[in-house]
Structure 1
Amino acid sequence: MFTFSTFSARLRAFMLLLGLLPIALGTIGFAFYSRDHIISDAHQELVHTAAFQKRLIDDWLTGQANNMQFLALDGMVRQRSRDGMHNLFMSFMATHPELDIILYVNPEGRVEVATSGELGVDVADREYFLAARQGKGFISDVLISRDTNMPIVIISSPLKDMQGNFGGAVCSILRMDAVNSLLAGLRPEKGGESYLIGKNNVLLSHLNGTRSADDLDVLDGEMLERIYSAASRGVPYKSINDGLSVVGATTLAKDGKWRIVVERPLDSVLAAAAGQSRLFGLACFGALLIVAPVGWLLARSMIKPLRDLAGYAHEVGKSGETRACPPVAEGSPKEVLELQRAFCTMVDQLEENAETLRQMAVTDPLTGLANRRRLEEEGIRLIDACLRADASCSALLVDIDHFKRVNDTYGHAVGDDALILIAETIGACCRISDLPARYGGEEFVIIASNTDARNAMVLAERIRKRVESTPLEVDGMALTLTVSVGVSEYTRTPSYGLSHLDDVLGKADSALYAAKEGGRNRVCLFEPAPQDGS
């Protein structure tokens, strides 16, 4: 029986339906509209992740190549001292666990020194040795080790003997596990994946699923082309890992020889769309039936400070630089005030930590001087500036005499105190424009811009005398230290290396060797060898 109460109930239900229908339609429309945007945003994040991984891998390989160049410049290597090279290589590997083997190949192409493995092996026809004969460094493609049957990369650097002739090559063997470890720590969150594809469609890295890179699986070329195309356009596709639907991005590394693919499951990407849609519907329903006026007032008091914080976060994330944290207007909700304080405190702490890490990355932790990385970066810049200004520039290579005797006699703690004392003495003698750095072990380098050879010799002699006159206190006794210094002035045409920095350091090393041979505790200026027929 139809009654007014029934009509009223139906009318109320109809009005409620009219109120809920726009919310439902709006929620569904919002979900479809936001889906493409969310996929696009996820793709852009993956593009940035792939670019970061490319820089990391390229910088890591460059750093490994620089390590081989550093070993090739060592005096023991250039003198071809087998025992000295073996001890140097073993010491170097102790601090570089990513290295599997370091070996020295003589000029005839035979393995003469190796941290492990067979000696006397003929590698004269290998690419890395042929490149070394041409004076070039070399980073190989991924190979399968004959000993371990595991993927490896070989990095080599040529060397010159003390007479400047071709002295063979220093080579290192790196396990691809080291590259896999780099990628594993940078996989996208929420089930994301990162992997490397090498030449001839070879899988170079481990995956979260069943595939591994131990046997260098060869993947289907057509399938990879579809993946590369979809990942470049930000279109979802089927992954090689269990056929999951994913959103991906791709880029090239190692001079275009490796391809990085970064992926996230499509389900986890779209989970944000579903959550946003539910939130949208609930917010609309609540605003319609319960708290529309209150919500409007609350939103007005919260939107501006949150927008300011979001804009501030965007600027910090984009530029990496901070400015004054935006204030929050009086009367804002307590939660917004607490969020603003916590966020600004976090940004300040991040800035302090970032600055500390930047300084640690370019500073020798023991002496406080610039480390080898900063020397290579800043030294090249200083010399280039002198080249452009047509100004002089010199290098001083300082070596503590009989430093091994100090360590053996008094212990390594006293040896560290000696290094610190020498570093402080060098810093006190240098100008603000000079670049003093710890070169390695007991060797220090000074790049003196706008300084010719004569003035560099004056600086070197000042350092030598001050070191000799500043004894180190050891258990109440005065330990007199001395240094030998090699000095060289850069020339516009390098002859001791591929760059002006390599050239001036190589010449300073030659002068240092002459100072050592001449009795130590002296300063020697690099003298070019006389030309034939002169």
Structure 2
Amino acid sequence: MRALLQQVRDRLHVIEDHLTVRTQIAAAVAVMSVVLVGTLAAGAALISYRNTAALIESSLTATASTASGRLDRFMATRQQEMKLFAEMQPMQTQWQGDPVALRSSLENLQRSFSEFAWIGYADVNGDVVAATGGLLQGKSVAERPWFKQGLERVAVGDVHEAILLASLLTQRANNEPYRFVDIAVPVRDTNGDLLGVLGGHLNWDWASNLIKDVEANDGNADATLSILSKGGMVLLGPQKETIRYGGDELARIVKTGAGTFRETDNGEQMLTAFHVGKGHRDYQGLNWIVTATQPASVALKAAIWSAQMILAIGAATALIALSLAVVVSRRIAAPIVALTREADRIGRAHGPTMLARQSGSAEVVQLSRALRSLLRRIGIAEERTKEAELRATENAMQLQEDMLKLRQLADTDFMTGLMNRRSFLAVADDAMAFCRRYKRNMATLMIDIDHFKKINDTHGHAAGDDAIKRVAEVVNQSIRTTDKAARFGGEEFVVLLREIDQETAVLLADRIRTSIESARVSHDNVVITLTVSVGLALFDESDRDVQDVIERADQGLYVAKKTGRNRTFLMPAEDQRAARAA
């Protein structure tokens, strides 16, 4: 583990070394800003979500509670009405009187409370004495639960289907069966003796209307209300007459009495609020469970929106913080960057080598001072070094100049400045190897001053030297830059002509000869005329080396001398081959 941590630290150091101070400061501030703002935004979003969700859940619970309360109040009112009707003084004479009159009174009661589908009075034996519409009149209801309970107390029965009564009523338009809630009240005389039971069947449609009214006015258009029995069966609402909750879940709902929870319906998350009816006043209640259900996406839309807005504000704040981090990092790093750039230019550009003073923080000021002081010390050392380098450079330049002079003395003729024999032969050997390798042409001229001994004898050796210099000057000016000229000794010169054919070589040789003939040498107010003889030889494949070409040119020079001087003679290679063969 320790080795792994060390590897991580080493990796971080490598990354740090590749990041600028500005980037590191910006990254640090950005990370802190994002963490702090993100934490605050996430916390605020969570709190807002929970609070808003709690308000929404409370509102949904209030809707279920409202519906449950209205159910209990309705039942309590109907129960109280039945009880008051049974105890009315005018009715004391009718319970055991004319059944027709009793029926009329019961029908008047039904018209006042239209929710009752049937109201009837049965004696203690369970025989129906009178009933609205004459329904079940004369029939026995002794086995009915409502009658048995009504003999003992005011009783309310849960929702059920009354098959016998339903068969006597008009068939409903939707063909759904009639469902009723029973209310039974014991009937006693003035002495308190039990006379019978007053029973009423409430048409369950009133609950449907009540639920619709609550759904329409609860402000939650997508809330769906349901009524469940205490056993978990759906009495009204989606999936009617099915068991919606049971076991521990039902026990928890009944025990809690009111609250919210989430459930899944057909793969969709639903938010469900519930309220268990506990009765109202004298009405003990049937523990009906009223649920209000909404899709979680709809119910918690406001909470989700609130959280998203807070997160969006947090993100915007984080972006602003990032921008400020970049600005601050640039401001802090600017003096360091400036020092780095100026330090990098030292030694690369001309001008002063002193850093400009930088400010921005105490550390930057101290660093600027330290670097300026260091540069001053370096400047002194550099001045001393420059002085030493200058002396060394001067000595080196003098040595180089001396070496160049020595090399020139070694490679050139001291009088004419042309190449000497040694340097010329080296160049000529390379030229001949090139011509042999690449099948190129080359020619050699041997030039000799005519009657040179007579010039020396007549005008002196100084005049002879001037003549040699003048001939060298004309030869050097007449040849191309690729050609080479040398003084072989005395009044004799040799010229190497590269990349040239026979015709051009002859023309060039004659041009040199005529140029020298036109030239004049003045010495002690005496004008000396000059002529030269030229021997010409072209490179041939049979030549063993450059000496063969020079020798052939020299033979041509000999012929030119013997045939009258001041002329050019081309010595063919065949003559040399013939002589070599002989």
TM-score of the pair, normalised by structure 2 = 0.40
Is the radius of gyration larger for structure 1 or structure 2? 2
TM-score (norm 1): 0.44
